[in-house]
Every structure is written in structure tokens, then in C-alpha cells.
Structure 1
Amino acid sequence: MSPAEPGVSEVSVGAEILVRAIPGVPTVDRGDDLVTLIIASLERANVGLRDGDVLVIASKIISRAEDCFVDLSTIEPSKDAKALGAEVDKDPHLVELILRESESISRKRKGALIVRHRLGFVSANAGIDASNAAPADAPAHSGPWVLTLPRNPDATARKLHADLAARYSADVGVIVTDSWGRPFRAGTVGFAIGSSGIPPIWDRRGATDRHGRKLEATATAVADAVAAAADLVAGQADEGRPVILVRGLRFKSSAESSHALLRDQENDLYA
């Protein structure tokens, strides 16, 4: 990440932004065309996209569309998964899937398994979700079912961004979100696991504060900040609001992905 050119702002935010759920997004199942469903929901709500708009999309509906369903009863736990499951008091079938979705184990204790996900971030249980996780055509007496995170959320964000930008002739952003806990803080917040079009990080180095002091280390995690704001409206229970419009930002279109938000492992004190 290099300092921004003096006088050039990648992102600007006014005194207010609008955060609005797009109503009427149907339950998504494997094989569904997400961009078609999203555009139809926007049109029913009489909402068009314009320059600077950001659509924040819950990873769960992407996982469902991309058939990331797993029937845990079909997973054969390894010897390591069985031993680890006994140690942390978790179903060894789930532990096996967590290990398959992870690069390494960061922390473990009874009831908790914190891992570095294959996508690069650290999360509990590799982001595997057991809530509303069965496909529509799940056979009777199958399961329990879970959903893994999308295979490549940045690639999905890029495709959605390209399709939406073409449909509305607008310079928009797309962020794919999940929720996570944070070291030393209670509760969960939304964060970006995929992004396209919007700068994921706003590098302020070289800018000055109100007293003329040059900023040397300030960088705002724009995609995560937008994801967290959208998460308040989306909810994490039965709200059924997987697509959120954030309006009021101005930004230069960016080819960077959410990968820019990952801290190098050698510099990550929490990993």
C-alpha cells in the first residue's frame, strides 16, 4: 500500500449516509442467478443505482446460490478431527469440515475453535453457518446441514459489480459480508470478505489533520466500515434483509479486492 498522491482523495464521506435494506429479496437456493434476483428486487422497490452507491450482500445468499451446502452426516471425520472434537467439545464431523476450510488453528479451548480461514482471515469455526442452512431439495431425514463461506467471494463481487455497473451505467461498489468476533471485544460485527469497485482501504498517509500535522499511519478500512454499518440494518436473526444499499459515499473505482484488508501473518499479533 503506497501513500495516496497529495491532493487526490480515493474516498470522501459527507455529513450523512443512507443505509437501506432492499425489500423482497427471495430465499436463494443453489443455481439461482443472484444478479437477476437483485435487479428484480431493486426494480420492485423502485430503486435505481447511481454513482457512489454500494450494494452490501450477505455471504449466506451467495453460499446458497453457489451450492456451498454440506450434509455433515456425509463427512467422515479423520483421527485428528475426532481428537480435536473431543478436546473442544464439538461434533467431529463439524471439526473435520472446519479443518478442511482452514489453513491453520489459531486458538482452541472447550467450545471454541478459532482458525485462519483458507481466504486468509481469522474466524470462529471457519465461518461455517448452521442457521437456515438446508437446501430447498434436502431429502427427508438428511442432515444436519451447514453452509460454508463462498469459495471466492472477491470473484463473485467482481462479477456482480460488472453486471450491476453495466445494467445501471453507474460507478457502483459491491461488498460481500460475513459477521465475526474481534479480539478483546464482545459481540460480532459485519466485515468484508469480498469487494469490488470500492477501495477496500482509504490510505490517508500524507494528508494533514486540522492542525496541519501530516498523517503518517492512518488508513481507514472502508469496506469493513461499510459492512459493519450495513450489518446493523441487515440483522443477524430472522430479519431477512440480505441486500443493503449504502448511499452517500464518493469514491474512485478501484480494482483492489478485499485481500488488501488482510494483515501479513508475520505482522498479525492476534493470529
Structure 2
Amino acid sequence: MSLSVSLTAIPGVPDIRNGDDLAAVLGDCLVRAGLPLKRGDILCVAQKVFSKAEGCIIPLTSVTPSAEALKYAEELNKDPRKVEIVLRESTRVVRAFRRPDQNEGTMICEHRLGFISANAAVDESNFGEEDAAMVLPPDPDASCARLQQDLSHRFDAEIGVVMTDTFGRPWRLGQVNVAIGLAKVPATIREQGNTDAWGRPLQVTEPALADEIAAASGLVVRKNGKTPAVLLRGLDWQPADSRGADILRKKQEDMFR
């Protein structure tokens, strides 16, 4: 059981460009910072870094809005080209609304990967390009697996990797980092069948380990600080074959559909 952990934002990460070798870039940053990876370390890396390296940036000039996109754009006062990208990234629009105090409305969508988020995680900020939109990598788990394997080999230490993104939460203000891709890190820890401190059996307890790790990484990251990677050290965990989708609730268990 871990009684303490450390979180360190990795300094000196350069602006990532399409085609960059993330393992080489982040590995070099870790070495320069005197933080060679050790067995059991977990590296949390922002989604934007992966998307940049994998070329997941779409110039808005290349997008022709559909009739559906034009309809939503008019209702929500949004750029129809961005709406079109949101629709392409989504399997369904859960809800679209614009409050009287909003200049631009919001689309709550089910992303093709299963996540429910605003605007299907399509973003226009913090990646250094104008008149363009960024989308999630096509396979976040595969992206994490490549990084995990390369860094584990370089430092001769089995580590875990979590890809993070910032989501809002129903009925709660603000945003937190959540896990959208995993390599070796368990999505949850099943406590069912164990007992609490008084010997009572646990029936539903299942801590969301990957999201807890992702949220913790946000404590040392600043949006304007160019610190997209965080080293978490000291956590007691066991490697697992896991996927970001493992933390999604099954649709038949959705009580609000």
C-alpha cells in the first residue's frame, strides 16, 4: 500500500511537431532533468502531445460543412467547419444547447472511442496553430503502448503510461484530467469481495485508479506552462492489460439515457 507518492512535471519539453519521436523527446527530457525512469513509475502525458506527433490537426480551410453541421452552427453560433469536425468525431450528439449568457453554445457528444465530452474533444487551443482544430489520436491505447515499450526498453524498467485529457463532469463545476488511453496501468481496482476496516464485505467499491492518476497529474500542470508530461513515482500498483475504454460504464448500466 502506498502511503506517499510524488508528482513531477517534466521540464524542458519542446513544442512537439508531426512525426516527432515522443519516446526519444520525453526520454531525453527525463535524463536532462535527472529523472531516469525506474520500475513502477507512471508517466502521464497530455493528449495534445500525442495528437501533435501523430498529425491529428485539421486545417479548417479543408473542411466543407454538411447540412447537419450548418444547422447546429446556426443554433449554437459556432463555426460550421468546427461543428463538422465534431460530427465526424462523434457517434451521436447527446445534447446541444446555448444558454442566454453564452456567446457560443456547446455540443455534448459521444466520441467514436466511447467517451462523453464537450465537442467530442475537438480543440482549438494550446497547440500553436491558427484556423485549425485538433482531434484525439485514432487509437490512444496503441499510442500509449508504443511510448511505454520504447521508454521501458530505454531505461530497462517496466513503467506505465496514461494519456490524459481534460473533461468536465456532470453536476460538478470545473474540469479535471481523466485517462483516455492506457498502457499497463489498471483502469480500476476491483475491491469487491474484500473487506473494509471493520470487516464488512465490500460489494461495489471499485476505485477508478487511472482517472485518479490522471487527475493528480493536473495538480502540477499549467495550461501556459508547457509541461505536458508528469512523472508519478511511489505508487503501489500491478501492471495489467488495460484499455482506456475499460473505465467507460456499459450503456445498459446508464441510468440517465
- Superposition TM-score tier, normalisation by shorter sequence: over 0.9
Partners of 1:189 and 1:228 within 8 A in 2: yes
Counterpart of 1:201, as a letter, is T
1:261 corresponds to 2:255? no
Counterparts of 1:163 and 1:268, CA distance in 2: 38
Counterpart of 1:33, as a letter, is D
> Which residue of structure 2 lines up, in the alignment, with residue 107 of structure 1?
95
Counterparts of 2:66 and 2:206, CA distance in 1: 42
**Closer, same or farther in 2 for the Cα pair 1:155/1:40, shift >3 Å?**
same
SS in 2 for 1:27: coil
Which of 17, 22, 36 aligns to 1:48? It is: 36
Q: Percent identity?
A: 39
Structure 1 position 169, deviation (Å): 1.9
SS in 1 for 2:113: coil
Counterparts of 1:183 and 1:61, CA distance in 2: 26
Counterparts of 1:169 and 1:132, CA distance in 2: 33
SS in 2 for 1:120: coil
Partners of 1:133 and 1:145 within 8 A in 2: no
TM-score (norm 2): 0.94
Counterparts of 1:191 and 1:160, CA distance in 2: 18
1:57 corresponds to 2:45? yes
**Closer, same or farther in 2 for the Cα pair 1:72/1:270, shift >3 Å?**
farther
Partners of 1:69 and 1:133 within 8 A in 2: no
Partners of 1:133 and 1:146 within 8 A in 2: no
Counterparts of 1:29 and 1:269, CA distance in 2: 42
1:121 corresponds to 2:107? no
Counterparts of 2:19 and 2:153, CA distance in 1: 22
TM-score (norm 1): 0.90
More strand by share: 1
Counterparts of 1:192 and 1:253, CA distance in 2: 16
SS in 1 for 2:78: coil
Structure 1 position 269, deviation (Å): 3.2
> Which residue of structure 2 lines up, in the alignment, with residue 139 of structure 1?
none
Which runs of 5 or more structure 2 residues have no equivalent in the other structure? 99-104
> Which residue of structure 1 lines up, in the alignment, with residue 232 of structure 2?
246
Which of 154, 161, 174 aligns to 1:174? It is: 161
Structure 1 position 134, deviation (Å): 4.5
Paired residues for 1:1-271 under 5 Å: 12=1, 14-110=2-98, 111-134=105-128, 143-235=130-222, 237-270=223-256
How many residues were matched structurally?
A: 251
Counterparts of 2:127 and 2:225, CA distance in 1: 16
Counterparts of 2:8 and 2:157, CA distance in 1: 18
SS in 1 for 2:234: strand
* Runs of 4+ more than 6 Å apart: none
Q: Deviations over 1:61-90 (max 9, x none)?
A: 110000011111211000111011111221
